[in-house]
């Protein structure tokens, strides 16, 4: 029979063992919780810069973000949406740096505008081309071009002009861009017998008048996007040359339509109206649209929903064919495309 002292010592040893086991179990639980939360956040937000004011995800949101997501809903474009864009003159991402290098090979060009699907050039550049003295009255929004060939009168928002006081109908009206008059390049042929040609490969428009030439570069005509839904890649072309290729996720089955479309809007961290009606804010790990949205004029073959090129909360889906029809790419790639690709850029999707 053991003594009372031995029994007490045995009880103490048993308590110490239970205390150590409880401490080890507590440390294990805490460690698992930290690792789980980290992996969940990494899975949901990998390849994504943080949104301006990211919503803090609950454990349920992080867990749901790990589930396959389809774009079976619509983007909600609010104040962060862009309806038109200007080219950024200072390259600050890899795609822009590549394009800047390619642009050096284009030679001397002036920046034009695409208005109503027609190429426009500033009246200042046009007057230099034809050797005319331009006088524009901002108050009357009208002006004249004076050259050896005579006097041309023009007015903003009017396609009626005159040459030496004889009326002349232009192919399109004079338009104001940031207060500056722009004229259709075809109007130079109608006013001065200049010839105009468009290069389908480079996207450049060339105006020729005698020995003088002027090349007009419209940003959205220089860019082209080609998407292969079968091989899951997206290529950006600039002035007819390949600038960069990106891996993508395309639509399951026949969800991604084929054909010729163009970029019609853009958005930063777009909200998403899910097909069950819930509005999921941009930046949420449950939002499948990711960091950026470039909306196209295409509609889903099966659903009829808007088709866009966008980031993703599921980076593991890139290289697969499982989306609801949209073109997914890594968030950092969607940011690069958003910052570089202008509204109006043609998009060709094929198998």
Q: Report the alpha-carbon distance of residue 2 to residue 223 in Å, rounded.
A: 91
| pLDDT, position 304 | 78
From 47, 111, 262, 310, active-site residue: 310
Question: Residue 150: left if φ>0, alpha if ψ -120 to 50, beta else—which one?
Answer: left
Residue 193: phi and psi, rounded to 5, are 60, 30
Write out the DSSP string of 226-284. Answer: EEETTTTEEEEEETTEEEEEEE-BEESTT-S--EEEEEEEEEES-EEEETTS-EEPTT-
Classify strands 279-280 and 271-274 as parallel, antiparallel or unpaired. Answer: antiparallel
| Domains of the chain, CATH where assigned | 60-88+221-350 (2.40.440.10), 113-217 (3.30.457.10)
Q: Answer for the pair 203, 221: CB distance below 8 angstroms, yes or no.
A: yes
Identify which of 167, 143, 168 has the alpha carbon closest to the alpha carbon of residue 156: 143
Q: Would you call 111 a catalytic residue per the annotation?
A: no
Q: Average the pLDDT over 258-276 and give the result.
A: 93
Q: What is the pTM of this model?
A: 0.73
Identify which of 341, 300, 345, 346 has the alpha carbon closest to the alpha carbon of residue 323: 300
| pLDDT, position 17 | 52
Residue 310 has pLDDT above 50, yes or no: yes
From 111, 249, 262, 326, active-site residue: 326
How big is the chain by its Cα radius of gyration, in Å?
Answer: 30
Residue 23 has pLDDT above 50, yes or no: no
- pLDDT per residue as tens digits for the range 26-67: 434 334 343 333 333 333 333 333 344 444 444 444 444 444
Crossing angle between the packed helical segments 331-340 and 94-103, to the nearest 10 degrees: 40
Q: Report the alpha-carbon distance of residue 194 to residue 196 in Å, rounded.
A: 7
| pLDDT, position 72 | 62
| pLDDT, position 89 | 59
Q: Would you call 310 a catalytic residue per the annotation?
A: yes
Q: Report the alpha-carbon distance of residue 194 to residue 185 in Å, rounded.
A: 9
């Amino acid at each position: 029979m053991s003594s009372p002292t031995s029994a007490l010592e045995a009880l103490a040893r048993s308590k110490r063992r239970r205390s150590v086991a409880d401490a080890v179990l507590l440390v294990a639980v805490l460690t698992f919780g930290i690792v789980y939360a980290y992996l969940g956040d990494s899975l949901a937000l990998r390849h994504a810069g943080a949104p301006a004011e990211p919503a803090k995800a609950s454990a349920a949101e992080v867990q749901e973000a790990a589930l396959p997501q389809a774009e079976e809903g619509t983007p909600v474009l609010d104040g962060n949406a862009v309806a038109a864009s200007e080219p950024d003159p200072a390259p600050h991402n890899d795609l822009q740096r590549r394009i800047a290098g390619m642009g050096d090979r284009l030679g001397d060009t002036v920046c034009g505008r695409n208005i109503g699907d027609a190429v426009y050039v500033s009246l200042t550049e046009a007057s230099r081309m034809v050797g005319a003295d331009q006088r524009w009255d901002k108050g009357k929004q009208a002006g004249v071009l004076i050259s050896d060939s005579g006097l041309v009168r023009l007015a903003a928002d009017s396609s009626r002009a005159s040459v030496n006081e004889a009326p002349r109908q232009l192919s399109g009206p004079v338009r104001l861009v940031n207060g500056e008059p722009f004229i259709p390049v075809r109007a130079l042929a109608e006013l001065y017998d200049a010839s105009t040609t468009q290069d389908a490969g480079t996207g450049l428009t060339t105006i020729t008048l005698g020995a003088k030439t002027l090349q007009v570069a419209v940003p959205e005509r220089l860019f082209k996007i080609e998407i292969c839904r079968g091989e899951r890649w997206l290529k950006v072309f600039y002035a007819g040359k390949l600038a960069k290729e990106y891996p993508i996720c395309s639509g399951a089955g026949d969800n991604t339509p084929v054909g010729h479309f163009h970029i019609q809007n853009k958005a930063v961290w777009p909200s998403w109206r899910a097909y069950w009606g819930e509005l999921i804010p941009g930046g949420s790990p449950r939002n499948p649209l990711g960091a950026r949205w470039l909306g196209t004029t295409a509609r889903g073959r099966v659903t009829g929903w808007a088709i866009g090129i966008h980031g993703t909360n599921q980076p593991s889906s890139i290289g697969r064919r499982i989306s609801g029809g949209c073109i997914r790419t890594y968030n950092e790639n969607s940011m690069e495309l958003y910052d570089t690709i202008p509204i109006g850029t043609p998009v060709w999707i094929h198998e």
